[in-house]
Structure 1
Amino acid sequence: MQVYKVGGAVRDRLLGLPVTDVDRVVVGATTEEMLAQGFRPVGADFPVFLHPKTGEEYALARTERKSGRGYGGFTFYASPEVTLEEDLIRRDLTINAMAEDDQLNLTDPYHGQRDLEARILRHVSPAFAEDPLRVLRVARFAARYAGLGFTVADETMDLMCQLSESGELQALTAERSWKEISRALMEDHPQVFIQVLRDCGALKELMPEVDALFGVPQPETHHPEIDTGLHTLSVLEQSALHKQPLTVRWACLLHDLGKGLTPEEEWPRHIAHEHTGLKLIKAVNERFKAPKDCQELALLVGQYHTHGHRALELKASTLLELLQSFDIYRRPQRFEEFIAACEMDARGRKGLEQRSYPQADYLRGAAKAARAVAVQPLLEQGFKGPELGEALKRERLKALKAYKEAATA
């Protein structure tokens, strides 16, 4: 029995990056031998075990064969006869197909170290094309390591294009797709993930609503970059630079989907795109079964982001409606994330990345003024039920009028 570290732990150590997840492969062992040493089985599809003391994962060396469509369409074979090289060849990229023993002796049959030094993301074998999920994984690694200068090898991009055209991407489950998408959006360069998907034709298959934004012009006075797709990439880039959470990044990706529906004869204006885009945002949310907080914020940002930009011009009554829509009294964090998404949208414009966004503090002040209205005095005046709600609304409107007058004086 021989144990090796494999995959990301080896890759990141060689890159000089912190090693967070350690995967181990066991060569020359049987399931019975692992159980006899106290390892606990966890793998349903193939033999994976937890170490009896550390709880870390150990997987038996295995081979795999395509047996159906999609990510799950594989038959695995684990046996003491399976070699380390046979286990490594089934992996996606050469930089993930390296192993090392406890003495840090490197096993690198597919030249992963060479590709690390060349900053290339290259597939290990033609079997890469058997697993559609690898299109998303490669795009995610491109987003993770873009800052180090990594690019996708031409021959790997060709296979990704073939996979995109094959219809195999449609066999991916919502859960597997969302896991890759959400992880990619939280990388340092999420815009690279979207760009790589577009370059290989996968974006058109997975998110045609986002793909449709490229080539759609916007008024140059507000959008010096003009192209709506490029603007979306820039907004995503800003969301990563400002360390925004996943909810905000997801909203940033989807906020302008309505512009993809604007008839060409109306370009570059996009009247009411906030409302026309809601059905598209809802469709993407449901397709990937995004978490509820991501879904809700994406819809709210899609509908109200132009309100955010025009905050200082809004009437007090419109401002109150905006605050009510976000339920700022019980869910203050959601409104804060809306403000963040609006600011990323404003900064995601060519040459305007550093401009100030006074709307942010103005909206925070408005929310504070509305929350400051006390309920108790109204109760003491005898208001209750629907009448209390109306009285509270009147007092909040009065507070917002006073706030607006003082803030814009």
Structure 2
Amino acid sequence: MQGQVYLVGGAVRDALLGVKVYDRDWVVVGATPEAMLVAGFEQVGKDFPVFLHPKTKEEYALARTERKSGTGYHGFEVSASQEVTLEEDLIRRDLTINAMARDDAGKIIDPYGGQVDLQNRVLRHVSPAFSEDPLRVLRVARFAAKLAPFGFRLHADTAELMRQMAASGELDALTPERVWQEVVKALSTTQPSVFFAVLAEVGALRVLFPWLADLQGVEQPAKHHPEGDAWVHTLLVLDAAAELSDDIGVRFAALVHDLGKGVTPRELWPKHHGHEAAGLPLVEAFCASYRVPKKIEALALKVTQWHGVIHTGLDSDGKPYLKPKTYLKVIQSCGYFKQPEVLEQVLLACKADARGRTGFEQAAYPQAAFWLALAQAAGQVDNQEILAQGFKGAEIATAIERKRIELIEAFIEAYAVDNGV
């Protein structure tokens, strides 16, 4: 094949970090699109020449330069001529640790100090051209979350550049779909709180996610929340959810469950009575702004609405606390009788909420097992038995609900005896 091929970007970085490499990207220097096609590659790039290898299907991009010609992350003029050098291609990348290449002999080409920054655990931009692409604010925050287990930190100059970008209005050019894509990637990391903490540090949280920014500095009752304000609590809950579940829906629900605290009048602090209901329209606004999938939104709304009630399903002594009708209302709202797995997701987010507090990181959460067992008991209704009693029309639903209440009452009574409460 015409040209010199180099492995670039994340694959080089991760190999040097000792992380398993899953995706590999390649740059070809000195080739033409025609030569790539003759060699059997399939062109997929529209804005610039990117090709799929005929066998591995890995991406091979022609070395290119970019020049800012408009607003947003699409406003670039791209040149992919044969004269573009590897160094010219690498300098347009975001971070020095992503601007390294490796040739077919295994030699690392590192013109911008990526290896030193990798050793020093520093996230530093390659050049001032970083500021031309607003998406890089999100990408760097995501890399901070991805690499948090290694102790990476933002270089002061990069943080300042990101602040300037957040204040410039350039972030407004980001499409909802692209922002959500970065959020999903961030939520998939082991420490997703870092993504949002970095955005807050550089002033981008207020621009992109004002509902989350409103939680900063909001006081909570110290007895139940020794960690401090609602923002700190939210980040702890998010990371607790990441420990408990790989489900993006559960993690997102954990992130937004307390948005209602951000609109509690200051004079009512540190109490937040009714914050669950107050949070519902805020979750809806968040999801509408970034076109969050409906399934994920539905779960987030259930967690927002019911987490307080679910916590109080058992009192501080472990005794069932609510009325049977209230238990049934929550179970039905979570769709247990049609999709029992949804209640399990809700309870995972609630467990994360309980653990996302300083000193409670490994606390037991008996409510989860209690609610699941209660729901299972309430589901043991013999519909044929109900029909055999002669009920018709709306009477059938009423009879089924009455039977479920009876089953819940029996379960609560047995639970109290078995647990000595």
Q: Normalised by the shorter chain, which TM-score bucket? A: over 0.9
TM-score, structure 2 normalization: 0.96
Structure 1 partner of 2:99: 97
| AA at the equivalent of 1:28 | G
Structure 2 partner of 1:192: 194
CA deviation after TM superposition for structure 1 residue 374, in Å: 1.9
CA deviation after TM superposition for structure 1 residue 334, in Å: 1.1
Q: Does 1:360 align with 2:368?
A: yes
CA deviation after TM superposition for structure 1 residue 379, in Å: 2.2
| C-alpha distance in structure 1 between counterparts of 2:196 and 2:74, whole Å | 24
Structure 2 partner of 1:382: 390
| C-alpha distance in structure 2 between counterparts of 1:296 and 1:406, whole Å | 33
Could you tell me which of 144, 156, 159 is aligned with 2:158?
156
| AA at the equivalent of 2:53 | H
CA deviation after TM superposition for structure 1 residue 103, in Å: 1.5
| AA at the equivalent of 2:100 | M
Instruction: Write out aligned runs for 1:58-69 (5 A).
Output: 58-69=60-71
Q: Does 1:320 align with 2:328?
A: yes
Report if the CA contact (8 A) 2:27-2:61 is conserved. Answer: yes
| C-alpha distance in structure 2 between counterparts of 1:157 and 1:342, whole Å | 34
| Higher alpha-carbon deviation: 128-137 or 376-385 | 376-385
Instruction: Write out aligned runs for 1:239-278 (5 A).
Output: 239-278=241-280
CA deviation after TM superposition for structure 1 residue 385, in Å: 2.9
TM-score, structure 1 normalization: 0.98
Superposed CA offset, 1:147-171 (max 9, x none): 1110010000001000100111111
| Higher alpha-carbon deviation: 381-390 or 141-150 | 381-390
Q: Does 1:301 align with 2:303?
A: yes
Note the residue ranges of structure 1 that are not aligned, 5 or more in a row: none
Report if the CA contact (8 A) 2:112-2:126 is conserved. Answer: yes
CA deviation after TM superposition for structure 1 residue 380, in Å: 2.5
SS of residue in 2 equivalent to 1:408: helix
Report if the CA contact (8 A) 2:244-2:348 is conserved. Answer: no
| AA at the equivalent of 1:329 | F
CA deviation after TM superposition for structure 1 residue 244, in Å: 3.7
CA deviation after TM superposition for structure 1 residue 55, in Å: 1.3
Structure 2 partner of 1:118: 120
Structure 1 partner of 2:287: 285
CA deviation after TM superposition for structure 1 residue 75, in Å: 1.8
Q: Does 1:43 align with 2:51?
A: no
Structure 2 partner of 1:30: 32
| C-alpha distance in structure 2 between counterparts of 1:122 and 1:230, whole Å | 26
Could you tell me which of 200, 207, 210 is aligned with 1:208?
210
Aligned CA RMSD, in angstroms, stands at 1.0
Report if the CA contact (8 A) 2:96-2:123 is conserved. Answer: yes
CA deviation after TM superposition for structure 1 residue 143, in Å: 0.7
Structure 2 partner of 1:394: 402
CA deviation after TM superposition for structure 1 residue 384, in Å: 3.6
| C-alpha distance in structure 2 between counterparts of 1:15 and 1:236, whole Å | 26
SS of residue in 1 equivalent to 2:26: strand
Structure 1 partner of 2:170: 168
Superposed CA offset, 1:99-142 (max 9, x none): 00121111101010110001000000000001111011111111
CA deviation after TM superposition for structure 1 residue 77, in Å: 1.2
SS of residue in 2 equivalent to 1:4: strand
CA deviation after TM superposition for structure 1 residue 220, in Å: 1.0
Report if the CA contact (8 A) 2:68-2:132 is conserved. Answer: yes
| C-alpha distance in structure 2 between counterparts of 1:7 and 1:386, whole Å | 63
CA deviation after TM superposition for structure 1 residue 402, in Å: 0.7
SS of residue in 1 equivalent to 2:254: helix
| C-alpha distance in structure 2 between counterparts of 1:171 and 1:75, whole Å | 17
CA deviation after TM superposition for structure 1 residue 249, in Å: 0.7
| C-alpha distance in structure 2 between counterparts of 1:376 and 1:124, whole Å | 70
Structure 1 partner of 2:129: 127
| Higher alpha-carbon deviation: 79-88 or 366-375 | 366-375
CA deviation after TM superposition for structure 1 residue 243, in Å: 3.4
| C-alpha distance in structure 1 between counterparts of 2:205 and 2:49, whole Å | 34
CA deviation after TM superposition for structure 1 residue 408, in Å: 2.3
CA deviation after TM superposition for structure 1 residue 388, in Å: 1.4
| AA at the equivalent of 2:371 | L
Structure 1 partner of 2:11: 9
Hey, which bits of structure 1, 4+ residues long, moved more than 6 A? Answer: none
| C-alpha distance in structure 1 between counterparts of 2:73 and 2:266, whole Å | 38
| C-alpha distance in structure 1 between counterparts of 2:333 and 2:265, whole Å | 29
| AA at the equivalent of 2:95 | L
| C-alpha distance in structure 2 between counterparts of 1:307 and 1:69, whole Å | 47
Q: Does 1:177 align with 2:179?
A: yes
| C-alpha distance in structure 1 between counterparts of 2:192 and 2:288, whole Å | 21
| AA at the equivalent of 1:149 | G
CA deviation after TM superposition for structure 1 residue 355, in Å: 1.2
Report if the CA contact (8 A) 2:245-2:348 is conserved. Answer: no
| C-alpha distance in structure 2 between counterparts of 1:306 and 1:357, whole Å | 14
SS of residue in 2 equivalent to 1:311: coil
| C-alpha distance in structure 2 between counterparts of 1:9 and 1:165, whole Å | 32
| AA at the equivalent of 2:18 | G
Identical residues among aligned pairs (%) = 56
Structure 1 partner of 2:317: none
CA deviation after TM superposition for structure 1 residue 54, in Å: 1.5
| C-alpha distance in structure 1 between counterparts of 2:262 and 2:158, whole Å | 30
Report if the CA contact (8 A) 2:144-2:154 is conserved. Answer: yes
| C-alpha distance in structure 1 between counterparts of 2:228 and 2:38, whole Å | 65
